[in-house]
Structure 1
Amino acid sequence: MENTDLSRLTLSRDIPRPRRRRWPLLLGVLILAAALFAWWFTAKRAIPVQSTRVTLAWPSQALTVINATGYVTAARKASVASKASGRLEWLGVTEGSRVRAGEVIARLENADLLAQVRQAEANVRVAKGQREQAAAEWRDAARALARARELFARRFLAESALDAALAREDKARAALASSEAALAAAQAALANVRVLLDYTAIRAPFDGVVLSKHANVGDVITPFTSALEAKGAVVTLADMSTLEVEADVSESNLQAVKVGQPCEIQLDAIPDARFTGRVSRIVPTVDRTKATVLVKVAFDRLDQRVLPDMAAKVAFLSRPLRAQEHQPRPALPAAAVMRRDGRAVVLRIDKGRAREVPVTLGESLGDLVVIDGGLSPGETVVLHPGTLRDGSRVRIAEKE
C-alpha cells in the first residue's frame, strides 16, 4: 500500500467572494456634493439687498396735523329705571334691541296699585253723586228764595220767612262748593294713583338701542335705595344717532385743534374703512394725570358697523378731503424708485431675481410716493437699488 500525502487534503481559506456594486452609492454622493456646491456658489453670487413692500396709503397722511386716540361714545345715553320700587314682572328687551321713545320695555308688579286705582275711581264716582245731590238741593233752595222774595215784595210773606229761605240757599250753595271740592280731591287722588301705576311701566326715554341689561324678571328694583341684592337700573340705552369719538389730545398740541376742524377716523374693529368727521367741541378741562384735553369728534355720516366703546384713532387734518382722496392708493418709499432712460422704474424681487418694472408716479405722501400703475399692493421691491441691474440675482438681507 502506497503512502498517501494527507497535506493535500487541507481546505484553502482564500475563497473568492462576490464583489459588491458600489457605484450607485458613489453616484449619489457625487450628486449631493454637486447640489451643495451649486447652492453654495449661487448663494455666494446672490447680491444681498434691502426690501420693502407696496402698501396701501391713505391721502390723509399728507394732511394730518396731529394724531390722537380715543373711543366711540354716545352723546345721549341713559340708565333706564323706574321711580317706583317693586319686583320686575316683565322685561321685553335684551341686548341689541331697538326701541322707540315712550315704548314700554319693562313692567313691575302692580296688583296693589291697580286695586288702589279702582278704589280711587269709586271715590270719584261717590264724590260726583254727592255733588249732583248738592247741586239739586241748591237749585231747589234758589227757586224757594226767588218765590219768597216775590211774595215778600207783595207783602204776602213775613221777613223772617224770607230770611229762612235766604239762609237755606246759602247752606245749599256752600254744600255744593264743598261737594265740588271733594270731587276735585277724589280726582286728584285718582290721578296720583294712576301716576304711581304708570311708574311701574318702564318706558324708553328716547329712540335707541339697548346696550346692556342689568336686571332679570324676579329681581327687586329699588332705584333710590341700596337694598341688598336689589337692582337700580334695568337697562342701559344709547341713542345711536349721537355716536361720536372722544379723543385725548395732549395739551401741548391743543393749539393745533379747533372746533369745526376736519378729521379722519379709523376704528380698530373696521381697519379697511376710514370715516370723516369734524371737531364738535373741546371740553375746557385738562386731565392732570395724563396732561390731555378731551376733544369730541362727530361723524359726518354714521355707519351701522360703528358701535359704542370701539377703539378709535383720529387724524386732525389741515383741510377737508377731496372726493378722490377718500380711497387708499398703492404706495412705496421714494427710495425704492429710480430713474433710468428717462422713466421711473423699480426692481421687483421675483424668484430670487430683480426684475425692472416701469411705474407711474403720483403725489407724495410724506416718505411715500403713490404708484398709479405698474405694481400691486403686497409685491416686494428692492429698497435703495443703486446700480443693481435687471435680472440680477438677489437675496433679501437679514435685518440686524
Structure 2
Amino acid sequence: MSSKPSLDALRIERPSHHESRGGLLWLWLLLLLAAGGAAWFFLSKRTDIPVVQTAQVTEHKSDGATRATLLNASGYVTARRSATVSSKVTGKVTEVMVDEGMEVKEGQLLAKLDSSNVDAALKLAEAQLEATRTALEETRSNFDLAEKELDRVNKLSTSGASSQSDVDRANFLSKSLSGRLRKQTADIVVAEADVAQWKQQVQDNTILAPFGGIVTSKNAQPGEMISPMSVGGFTRTGICTIVDMASLEIEVDVNESFINRVKPGQRVEATLDAYPEWKIPAKVIAIIPTADRQKATVKVRVGFEKIDPRILPDMAVKVAFQSDESVPAGKSLTIPKAAVFDDNGTSIVWVLSGEKVERRAVSISLTSGDQSTISAGVSPGETIVTSTSGKLQDGSRVKLTKR
C-alpha cells in the first residue's frame, strides 16, 4: 500500500446550501444584539441626567444700609443669673407661696418649714435670758447696799466705834457681790447669744428669694422633706428655680478655626427658631479664653441689646456675626442661600440656560437667614439651581424636577 495521500484526501469540502443560510442567521443575530446594546447604553446615559430644583434671582430695594455677615453660628439662650433656691436646714415643708410663672422680688417669702421645735427652744432661751437679767438686777441692788455698808463701817472704824472684823466682813461682802455681778453680766451676754442663735434657726426655717426674677419651676410641695444636700430617698434639695430675665444672653460655640472673626463689642443679629422672621439686635459680650479640645470650639457670650418677654431660657437661636462695614442702600440681588455652592473656596452658582447649566462665580455681600445678597455674578430674573441629584459641570444637561 502506498503511503502517499490520495487525491480524495486533499479535496476541499464546500458547505451545503442549508449550512450557508444558518451562518447568515447568526450574523444577523449578532448585529441585532450589538444594536440593542448601543441603544441601552445611550438610554442609560439619558437617565443619568441630574434632576435639579431652581429659583430666580430677585431684585430688592433697601432704604437703609445693611451689614455684611462674617460668620453664622447657633446656640441657646441662657440665664446669667439663675438659682434653685433651697433651705439652710433639713426640715418638713409646711407652706409654699410661689408657683410657676410667678414674679418674685428680692427677699420675698417663698416657703416655710416646720419650726415648732426651734420655736419652743427660742422661748426657753428668752425665758432664761429674762431670769438672768432679773438675777442681775437683784445682785446689783445687793452690791449697792454692800458698798454703802462698807463705807459706813470704814467711817465708824476711824472713830473707833467699829471693830476690824466688822470692816473685814463688810469688805468681803462687797467683793463677793462685785464678782457675782460680773458673772451675771457675762451670763446675760451668753443668754443673749443663745437667743440670737435660736432666732437665726427660726429664720432658717423660712426661705426667701435671693434676688428678683421669675419662678420657672416648683420643686417641692407641703409635707415633703427638704435638705440643703442630697440625702437620697424622697428628700428634695430645692423649693423652686428662679431666673433673672434681665440677665438672659446667648451662649454660642464657635469653631476655633473662625474665632478670629469674632471680637468683643461686635454687632450680632440673632434669630430665635421660634420667631424666624424676628431679627434681634445683639452684641458680643466676651470670648471665653479657653477652648474645648473635644469639639474644637470656643464659647462666645452674646448679649441682647433689649430684653423682650418673648425671649425665654434654653430657646434655640441662630446668630450672625456682622462686619463693621455696611452695604450701602439701594438695589440688591438676593438668591436662596442653598443656591450658593463652594468650589474649592470659590462661591459659585449654576445658572440654567435652556436644558444646560452654566457655572458662575459670585460675590456675596451679605447673608441673612436663608437668603444671600449677591453683589456680582448674576442678573435679575436669571434662573439658578438650588439643589441637584447629581454632580454638575459647566454645560451639563439637566432636567427640572416635577412639582
Q: TM-score range by the shorter chain?
A: 0.5 to 0.7
Of 285, 289, 311, 2:290 maps to 285
Residue of structure 2 aligned with 1:332, choices 311, 331, 334? 334
**Does 2:279 align with 1:270?**
no
CA distance in 2 between partners of 1:310 and 1:160 (Å)? 92
Q: 2:181 aligns with which of 172, 176, 181?
A: 176
Please name the residue that 1:167 is paired with: 172
Let me know the Cα RMSD of the aligned residues: 3.3
> Corresponding residue for 1:151?
156
| Conserved? CA contact 1:60–1:317, under 8 Å | no
Conserved in 2, the CA contact under 8 Å of 1:262 and 1:320? no
Q: Does residue 142 of the first structure (1) align with residue 144 of the second (2)?
A: no
Alpha-carbon spacing, 1:249–1:364, altered in 2? closer, same or farther (3 Å): closer
Instruction: Label 1:288 to 1:364 Cα distance change in 2 as closer, same or farther (>3 A).
Output: closer
Instruction: Identify if the C-alpha distance between structure 1 residues 51 and 266 changes in structure 2 by more than 3 Å, giving closer, same or farther.
Output: closer
Q: Please say if residues 265 and 314 of structure 1, whose CA atoms lie closer than 8 Å, have aligned partners that are also in contact.
A: yes
Q: Report the residue type matching 1:109 in the other structure.
A: D
Q: Does 1:191 align with 2:193?
A: no
d(CA) in 1 for partners of 2:333 and 2:101? 40
Deviations, residues 327-349 of structure 1 (Å, cap 9, x unaligned): xx996349xxxxxxxxxxxxxxx
TM-score, reference length from structure 2: 0.67
1:61: how far off?
7.3
* Aligned residues with identical type, % of pairs: 32
Give the corresponding residue for 1:239: 244
Q: Which of 217-226 and 172-181 deviates more?
A: 217-226
Answering whether residue 67 of structure 2 is matched by residue 52 of structure 1, we say no
Which amino acid in structure 2 is aligned with residue 88 of structure 1? V
Give 1:87's aligned residue: 92
Cα–Cα, structure 1 residues 51 and 263, in superposed 2: closer, same or farther, change >3 Å? Answer: closer
- Residue 401 of structure 2 is matched in structure 1 by 398
Q: Distance in 2 between matches of 1:87 and 1:56?
A: 66
User: Partners of 1:194 and 1:107 in 2: how far apart?
Assistant: 15
Aligned to 2:216: 211
Q: Paired residue for 1:345?
A: none
Q: How many aligned residue pairs are there?
A: 301
State the 1:56 CA deviation. 8.8
Q: Contact 2:66/2:326 (CA < 8 Å) preserved in 1?
A: no
Equivalent AA in structure 2 for residue 398 of structure 1: T
Paired residues for 1:67-106 under 5 Å: 67-106=72-111
Distance 1:319 1:184 in 2: 67
Deviation at residue 365 of structure 1 after TM alignment? 3.8
- What are the Cα deviations for residues 50-104 of structure 1, in whole angstroms up to 9, with x where unaligned? 5438699998974222122111111111110001111111111111111111111
Q: What is the distance in 1 between the residues matched to 2:238 and 2:61?
A: 46
Stretches (4+) displaced over 4 A: 53-62
CA distance in 2, matches of 1:60, 1:181: 78
Q: Is the 8 A contact 2:73 2:320 kept in 1?
A: yes
What CA distance in whole angstroms lies between the structure 1 residues aligned with 2:269 and 2:149? 88
Is contact 1:280–1:298 with CA below 8 Å preserved after alignment?
A: yes
TM-score normalised by structure 1 residue count? 0.67
* Contact 2:281-2:305 at 8 Å conserved across structures: yes
**In structure 2, C-alpha distance between the alignment counterparts of 1:106 and 1:119, rounded to whole Å:** 25
The alpha-carbon deviation at position 124 of structure 1 amounts to: 1.4
